[in-house]
Structure 1
Amino acid sequence: MARASKQIVLEFLEAMERSDYAAALHLVSSDCDYINPPPFGAVKGPAGIRAVLEPFFAPVLENRFELKRVADAGDLVFVERLDRHRLHDKWVELPVTGVFEVKAGLITYWRDYFDVATIMSEWPPLA
């Protein structure tokens, strides 16, 4: 029996919360579009996603994704969440809304909406 799109997205977010890139990206199609607000922009596929996220989250000691609302309609899944990231000296919180599209059991589209200034004002300088 095929898993529902919502279940796949929630499994993906659980893996990302654990920083388990291998498990998370196993749920992403090879041509998945991942889009963030500028200056982060868009990348394609698991390698592109990992190239953006792994270095950005390198200083994170622990993640907590508090899901506020989850709505799905067929292949589309919307997730309003509060992303909490523990750095060495503090927690950083970022309200995020993610839009996902799932086809044939894989995430083919992922777009996160958030205020870049909110995260960058709290984040350590990027290398």
Structure 2
Amino acid sequence: MTDAAVIVESFLTLLEHGEAEAACELLAPDVEWRNTGMPTFRGHKVRGMLRDMERRSIGFRVDMHHIAANGPIVLTDRIDYLSYKRWESAFWVCGTFEVRDGLITLWDDHFSMGNLLAGSIRGLLGMRRA
């Protein structure tokens, strides 16, 4: 893997392990975080959101299917999981990251809102069975 891919994979792994502060150290000061159908967040807002997820005990994990890099651009094909207490949602994500000078400057996740909604409903139904 290229250095850029290692940085992205490290970032996602740190988030998985609930280490938001360490993950934030891999973000450029003016990082831009885009998500399908949601507002774009920049800089300190991104760090604040990641720290807030950790503070609220919102879990995050990733099943990485593919990761590829071409210079500073890293593409990921993965399943993301968001969880809170007994609820968990799983949904497919295609991510584009840009890494400059060892820091992530762009984090752009694409996903289907329908897939996210279906994963959330499956999570709710799973809570009833548990």
User: 1:53 offset after TM fit, Å?
Assistant: 4.0
1:26-83 Cα deviation digits (max 9, x unpaired): 0000011111122x210111x21133345467353x4321000111001000011111
Distance 1:102 1:113 in 2: 18
1:96 aligns with 2:93: yes
SS in 2 for 1:94: strand
Residues 114 and 34 of structure 1: CA distance in aligned 2, closer, same or farther (over 3 Å): same
Unpaired runs of 5+ residues, structure 2, are: 124-130
Q: Match of 2:41?
A: 43
Aligned Cα root-mean-square deviation (Å): 2.4
Distance 1:120 1:50 in 2: 25
Distance 2:88 2:31 in 1: 30
SS in 2 for 1:19: coil
Which one-letter code corresponds to 1:66 in the other structure? D
Distance 2:50 2:92 in 1: 17
1:74 aligns with 2:77: no
Q: How many residues align?
A: 119
Larger helix proportion, structure 1 or 2?
2
Percent identity of the aligned residues?
Answer: 26
Distance 1:54 1:27 in 2: 14
With 12-21 and 49-58 compared, the bigger mean Cα shift is at 49-58
User: 1:114 offset after TM fit, Å?
Assistant: 1.1
Q: Match of 2:19?
A: 20
TM-score by length of 1: 0.80
